[in-house]
């Protein structure tokens, strides 16, 4: 009789001790990341049937279970993935933003100051100091472009390094999860949940989620399989596949992530990754960094090409004076076309097809890469897709898209090419000229109004549109035939023979002649109003005047207002590019703020289910301590009953 009570007391003591132990375990692990609160499940032992009914047999510890909600855990991991993606992209964008600095330290200001220096050259064309200032500003501008180019290259390299580190971690974690699967499956036979191992696996999955978003499938045998990028397996049961960093097949300078399944390597599309810092890095690399490169590159190409073009239209101070046209002031990276890695190759392994790009109109360039592939609907044509907005143009071989001529040679059906008209322009930007005399400040032509003119018209600017002049040495005359701007022009060669003539109507603010016509490559603008009989003469600049003539320097100044960068002036275009990147950083920052808040909330929800509350544990400690003490009392009573029995029996 007393033994039953004693058994009940002992079992109650054991059960409460187990509960106390579990509470102690909870308190000990309260700050362990990913720990799930455990509790001892107590069950009433089945009663013993007697003639007078069931007599209780105390309590048993049936199991120790962890507080865990599959849904909340999955939510927390996914939210974490998105937050990690947004944060990774934001960090990179912040670095990119430094390339597009504003103010006096910015590229736009350097470009403006370079062109502004032509004011001083125009003021004193023969002054070596003024020329040196232009060269100095040119070197400064070139250094800024080259600096921006190499900063972008470094960012690309940094993305590669971060991707490799992340991929290394992914592989370690995937292996760890596969091992945890194995151990959990092995312990499953014991019939009790392996709480701490399950927590360990959850922890690894949470860490993995920071790097790449995974979806999970419970196999039912205790193992959990993980899939990435819309269904490609990373962990299956007790086996793990490996990630690797590869060159992007479309552009070998960029990186892509591949998953090796057995002997098969499969590139994972950036868009399908969903979340994780790897997705953030890839998105930055494939969108933001490419756009950043193109924005800087378009400015570099437009400024470099326009300045070189204007140089060629002017005359330098090199002897013999009046005959030496300016040579290129800047060198910059040209357009390039990349063959896709899967394009058809010849027996030697070289690509069969190739694409050559030539910038024909620097003013028309777009800040974008392009994809070129065969146009299946028009035989012989090529389909060019502008990647920033998806616009498609079908061109014949040699066609021009956005100021770039595209020549395709030897390409096979199915071949793809990535065209980068401006992407590489900034990196190699440098000043070519060292001799101040090589700057072409003088114009090849000078204009003047005849002494007898009665109108107020004078020549405000004379711009030469081609180099060299179609007919060197020719003199043009513009004679106004009425007071409302009608004029006749003729062009005479050095011997006074008529080469060409024409008529036109001048309107205030419009050039003479009206575009697209030009007279021997030039057009001029008037200040003031001409009257009948007024004559303007445009003749070759005499050799003696070359040293002090500033016509071409003034045309260089006009580049400040030219629609060079996407239909805008350089200053406007740069402000626009700055704002573009700024908006991205801003957008990315608010995305990161939001997804981090969501992740924190999801984690809070998970933690409120699984986490340890110390006040609760303190209460449990008291609760189970008291129960333990009561159980001990039961034991004491049982003992005293036994003693009573023994003493009665011993009497």
Partner 1 sequence: MRISAANAFDRSVSNLQLRQRELTEAQEQLTSGKRVQRASDDPAAAARAERALAHQARADAEQRALDASRNAMQLTESALGHAGELMQQVRERLVSAGNGTYSDAERRTLAEAIRGLRDDLLAVANRGDGAGRYLFGGQGADAPPLADAAGGVVYNGARGQLMASAGEPTPLSVDGEQAWLMAPDPANPPATLSTFAVLDSIVADLLTPNRPPAAIAQTVAEGVRRIDAVSDNLQRWRARAGESLNRIDAIGERIAQTRLDAQRQRSEAEDLDMVQAISEFQTRQTGYEAALKTYATVQRMSLFEYIR
Of 6-35, binders to partner 1 (CB under 8 A) are 30-33
Q: Which is nearer to partner 1, 210 or 603 (CB)?
A: 603
Distance of alpha carbon 462 from its chain centroid, rounded?
A: 44
Where does 340-443 show beta strands of DSSP type E?
Answer: 354-359, 370-374, 382-386, 392-395, 400-401, 404-409, 416-420, 430-431
Cis amide linkage into residue 513, ω under 30° from 0: yes
Q: Which is nearer to partner 1, 171 or 461 (CB)?
A: 461
Q: Which stretch binds partner 1 (CB under 8 A): 39-47, 100-108, 294-302, 504-512?
A: 100-108
268 near partner 1, rule: CB under 8 A = no
583 near partner 1, rule: CB under 8 A = yes
Q: Which of 231, 347, 390, 451 binds partner 1 (CB under 8 A)?
A: 451
196 near partner 1, rule: CB under 8 A = no
- CB distance 100 to 292 below 8 Å: yes
Cα 114 from Cα 135, distance rounded (Å): 9
Cα 134 from Cα 332, distance rounded (Å): 18
Q: Which is nearer to partner 1, 214 or 557 (CB)?
A: 557
Please give the residues from 116 up to 135 whose contact with partner 1 meets the rule CB under 8 A.
Answer: 116-117, 119-120, 122-127
Q: Which of 517, 618, 645, 646 binds partner 1 (CB under 8 A)?
A: 618
Residue 181: HSE in the Cβ half-sphere, 13 Å Cα cutoff: 23
Q: Which stretch binds partner 1 (CB under 8 A): 12-20, 394-402, 495-503, 600-608?
A: 600-608
- CB distance 430 to 329 below 8 Å: no
Q: Dihedrals φ, ψ of 524, to 5°?
A: -135, 155
627 near partner 1, rule: CB under 8 A = no
Binding mask 299-338 for partner 1 (x = CB under 8 A): ----------------------x-----------------
113 near partner 1, rule: CB under 8 A = yes
Q: Which is nearer to partner 1, 294 or 549 (CB)?
A: 549
**Smallest gap from residue 596 Cβ to partner 1 (A):** 9
Please state whether beta strands 486-492 and 498-505 pair in parallel, antiparallel, or not at all (unpaired).
antiparallel
First to last CA, the chain: 20
Q: Which residues contact 547 (CB under 8 A, 6 or more apart)?
A: 125, 126, 317, 321, 442
**How far, in Å, are 311, 477, 489, 527 from residue 502 at the CA level?**
29, 11, 5, 22
Cα 538 from Cα 523, distance rounded (Å): 10
Q: Which stretch binds partner 1 (CB under 8 A): 179-187, 301-309, 374-382, 582-590?
A: 582-590
Please give the residues from 513 up to 552 whose contact with partner 1 meets the rule CB under 8 A.
Answer: 527, 541-551
106 near partner 1, rule: CB under 8 A = yes
Q: Which stretch binds partner 1 (CB under 8 A): 1-9, 387-395, 502-510, 580-588?
A: 580-588
429 near partner 1, rule: CB under 8 A = no
Q: Which stretch binds partner 1 (CB under 8 A): 43-51, 160-168, 420-428, 617-625?
A: 617-625
Cα 267 from Cα 232, distance rounded (Å): 11
Distance of alpha carbon 422 from its chain centroid, rounded?
A: 16
Cα 576 from Cα 585, distance rounded (Å): 14
- What is the number of residues in the chain? 651
Q: Which of 59, 245, 256, 459 binds partner 1 (CB under 8 A)?
A: 459
Q: Which of 576, 591, 623, 639 binds partner 1 (CB under 8 A)?
A: 576
97 near partner 1, rule: CB under 8 A = yes
Please give the residues from 345 up to 404 whose contact with partner 1 meets the rule CB under 8 A.
Answer: none
């Amino acid at each position: 009789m007393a033994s039953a009570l004693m058994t009940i007391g002992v079992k109650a003591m054991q059960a409460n001790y187990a509960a106390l132990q579990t509470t102690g375990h909870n308190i000990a692990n309260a700050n362990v990341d990913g720990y799930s609160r455990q509790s001892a499940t107590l069950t009433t032992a089945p009663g013993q049937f007697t003639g007078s009914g069931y007599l209780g047999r105390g309590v048993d510890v049936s199991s120790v279970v962890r507080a865990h909600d599959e849904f909340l855990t999955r939510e927390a991991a996914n939210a974490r993935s998105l937050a990690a993606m947004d944060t990774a992209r934001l960090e990179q964008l912040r670095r990119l933003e430094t390339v597009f600095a504003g103010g006096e330290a910015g590229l736009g200001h350097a470009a403006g100051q370079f062109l502004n220096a032509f004011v001083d050259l125009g003021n004193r064309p023969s002054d070596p100091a003024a020329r040196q200032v232009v060269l100095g500003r040119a070197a400064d501008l070139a250094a800024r472009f080259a600096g921006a180019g190499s900063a972008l290259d470094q960012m690309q390299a940094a993305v590669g390094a971060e991707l490799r580190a992340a991929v290394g971690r992914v592989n370690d974690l995937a292996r760890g999860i596969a091992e945890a699967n194995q151990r959990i499956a092995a312990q499953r036979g014991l019939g009790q949940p392996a709480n701490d191992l399950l927590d360990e696996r959850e922890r690894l999955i949470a860490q993995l989620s920071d790097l790449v978003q995974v979806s999970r499938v419970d196999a039912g045998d205790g193992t959990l399989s993980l899939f990435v990028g819309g269904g490609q397996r990373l962990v299956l049961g007790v086996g793990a596949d490996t990630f690797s960093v590869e060159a992007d097949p479309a552009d070998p300078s960029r990186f892509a992530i591949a998953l090796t399944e057995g002997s098969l390597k499969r590139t994972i599309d950036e868009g399908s990754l969903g979340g994780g810092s790897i997705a953030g890095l890839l998105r930055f690399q494939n969108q933001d960094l490419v756009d950043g490169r193109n924005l800087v590159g378009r400015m570099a190409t437009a400024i470099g090409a326009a300045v070189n073009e204007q140089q060629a239209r002017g005359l330098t101070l090199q002897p013999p004076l009046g005959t030496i046209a300016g040579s290129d002031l800047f060198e910059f990276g040209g357009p390039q076309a990349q063959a896709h890695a899967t394009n058809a190759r010849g027996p030697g392994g070289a690509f069969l097809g190739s694409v050559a790009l030539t910038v024909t109109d620097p003013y028309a360039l777009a800040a974008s890469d392009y994809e070129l592939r065969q146009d299946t609907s028009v035989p012989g044509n090529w389909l060019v897709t502008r990647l920033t907005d998806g616009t498609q143009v079908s061109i014949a071989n040699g066609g021009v898209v956005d100021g770039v001529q595209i020549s395709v040679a030897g390409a096979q059906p199915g071949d793809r090419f990535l065209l980068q008209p401006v992407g590489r322009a900034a990196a190699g930007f440098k000043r070519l000229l060292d001799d101040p005399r090589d700057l072409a400040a003088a114009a090849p032509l000078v204009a003047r109004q005849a002494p007898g003119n009665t109108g107020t018209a004078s020549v405000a600017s004379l711009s030469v549109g081609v180099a060299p002049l179609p007919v060197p040495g020719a003199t043009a005359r513009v004679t106004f035939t009425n007071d409302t701007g009608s004029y006749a022009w003729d062009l005479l060669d050095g011997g006074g023979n008529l080469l060409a003539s024409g008529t036109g109507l001048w309107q205030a603010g419009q050039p003479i002649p009206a575009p697209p016509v030009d007279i021997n490559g030039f057009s001029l603008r008037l200040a003031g109003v001409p009257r009948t009989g007024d004559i303007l003469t445009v003749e070759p600049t005499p050799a003696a005047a070359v040293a002090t003539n500033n016509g071409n320097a003034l045309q260089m100044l006009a580049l400040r207002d030219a629609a060079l960068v996407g239909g805008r002036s350089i200053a406007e275009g740069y402000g626009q590019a700055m704002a573009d990147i700024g908006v991205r950083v801003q957008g990315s920052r608010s995305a990161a703020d939001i997804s981090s808040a969501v992740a924190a909330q999801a984690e809070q929800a998970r933690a409120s289910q699984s986490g340890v509350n110390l006040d609760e544990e303190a209460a449990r400690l008291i609760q189970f301590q008291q129960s333990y003490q009561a159980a001990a009392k039961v034991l004491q009573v049982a003992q005293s009953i036994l003693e009573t029995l023994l003493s009665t029996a011993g009497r």
